[in-house]
C-alpha cells in the first residue's frame, strides 16, 4: 500500500527537497505521513476549489507545485483550503523550487513543450537554454509561444533578429533575465515587470512574458506520467482549474 511518505520519498529522489530555496516551503505541509494513498489530486495551486474537489472525489492527498503555506499562519479559519484539507483528513505535499530545476521538473518540461533541442541548464537550473528547429521572426515566435502554452495577452519586446536559441524559466524568473539573455536570442518566462521589459528592449534583447500559470501549469502536470509509472496502485487526477487571472 502506497503512503504519503512513499510519494514524498520518490519526489525527494528526483527533486531533492534540500535543493529548495531558503525562502521556500516545499514538502509535507498537511496531514499524516503514514496515511495510505489510493487517489491523488494534482494542481498548480491548492485553492479552495481544488481542496473541495479533492474532498468530492475522496482523494487522500493533494499534490501541487506551489506551497499551500508559505510563512507562519496565525489562524486556520473555516473558509480556507488548509481548514478544508485538515477537516477532510486529506494530506498535502508540494514541490516548488526543488522541482523547478529538477531534471524532470518545470523548466525541463517547459523546454519540451516549446520544442527546444540540445538543452542545457544555467542559473543553478532555474533556466534552460536550447534551440528551435527553425529560426523565427520575433512576431512569429511570440505567436508560437502563445499557441504552445495556451497563453492569452502575452507581452514581448520586438526585435529584427531571428530567434534561434531560447532560454526558458517558468513562473517568476526575472532575476535570471540578464544571464539568460547572454546565452540566448530570447528569454521566455512567466512574469516580467514593465521596467524589466523596457530595460531589455533598450538593450536590444528579446523577452517574452507568457504568464505565470501558463509557463508552469502544464509543465507541472507532466509529472503525473512519472508518478503513474511508479505508483501503479494509485489513481492520479488533475483538478479542473483554469487560470484565475483573466484577459480580454
Any idea what the CATH number is for the domain that residue 156 is in?
3.40.1390.30
H helices present in 150-211, as ranges: 177-183, 194-202
Sheet of 155-156, strands arranged across: 117-122, 127-136, 163-169, 186-189, 206-209, 155-156
What percentage of the chain reaches a pLDDT higher than 70?
99
Statement to judge: residues 92 and 122 lie in one domain: no
Residue 94 lies inside a defined structural domain of this protein: yes
Task: Pull the grid cell for residue 125.
Answer: 537550473
226-243 pLDDT, tens digit per residue, is 999 999 999 999 999 877
Mean pLDDT over 99-106 rounds to 96
Instruction: Please tell me whether residue 107 adopts helix, strand or coil conformation.
Output: helix
Q: What is the span of the domain harbouring residue 91?
A: 4-99
pTM confidence score: 0.95
Grade residue 12 by pLDDT with cuts at 50, 70 and 90.
very high
Question: Do 114 and 46 belong together in one domain?
Answer: no
Decide if 75 is inside a domain. yes
CA 126, 130, 108, 196 dihedral sign is positive
Whether 130 is in a domain gets the answer yes
Amino acid at each position: 500500500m502506497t503512503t504519503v511518505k512513499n510519494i514524498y520519498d520518490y519526489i525527494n529522489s528526483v527533486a531533492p527537497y534540500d535543493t529548495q530555496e531558503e525562502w521556500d516551503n516545499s514538502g509535507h505541509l498537511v496531514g499524516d505521513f503514514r496515511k495510505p494513498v489510493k487517489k491523488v489530486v494534482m494542481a498548480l495551486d491548492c485553492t479552495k476549489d481544488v481542496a473541495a474537489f479533492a474532498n468530492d472525489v475522496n482523494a487522500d492527498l493533494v499534490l501541487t507545485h506551489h506551497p499551500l503555506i508559505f510563512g507562519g499562519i496565525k489562524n486556520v479559519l473555516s473558509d480556507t483550503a488548509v481548514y478544508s484539507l485538515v477537516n477532510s483528513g486529506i494530506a498535502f505535499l508540494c514541490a516548488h523550487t526543488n522541482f523547478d530545476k529538477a531534471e524532470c521538473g518545470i523548466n525541463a518540461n517547459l523546454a519540451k513543450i516549446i520544442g527546444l533541442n540540445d538543452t542545457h541548464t544555467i542559473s543553478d537550473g532555474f533556466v534552460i537554454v536550447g534551440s528551435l528547429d527553425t529560426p523565427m521572426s520575433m512576431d512569429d515566435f511570440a505567436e508560437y509561444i502563445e499557441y504552445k502554452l495556451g497563453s492569452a495577452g502575452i507581452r514581448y519586446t520586438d526585435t529584427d533578429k531571428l530567434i534561434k536559441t531560447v532560454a526558458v524559466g517558468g513562473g517568476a524568473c526575472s532575476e535570471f533575465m540578464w544571464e539568460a539573455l547572454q546565452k540566448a536570442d530570447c528569454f521566455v518566462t512567466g512574469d516580467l515587470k514593465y521596467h524589466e521589459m523596457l530595460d531589455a528592449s533598450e538593450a536590444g534583447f528579446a523577452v517574452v512574458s507568457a504568464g505565470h500559470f501558463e509557463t508552469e501549469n502544464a509543465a507541472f502536470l507532466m509529472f503525473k506520467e512519472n508518478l503513474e509509472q511508479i505508483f501503479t496502485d494509485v489513481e492520479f487526477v488533475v483538478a479542473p482549474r483554469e487560470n484565475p487571472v483573466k484577459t480580454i
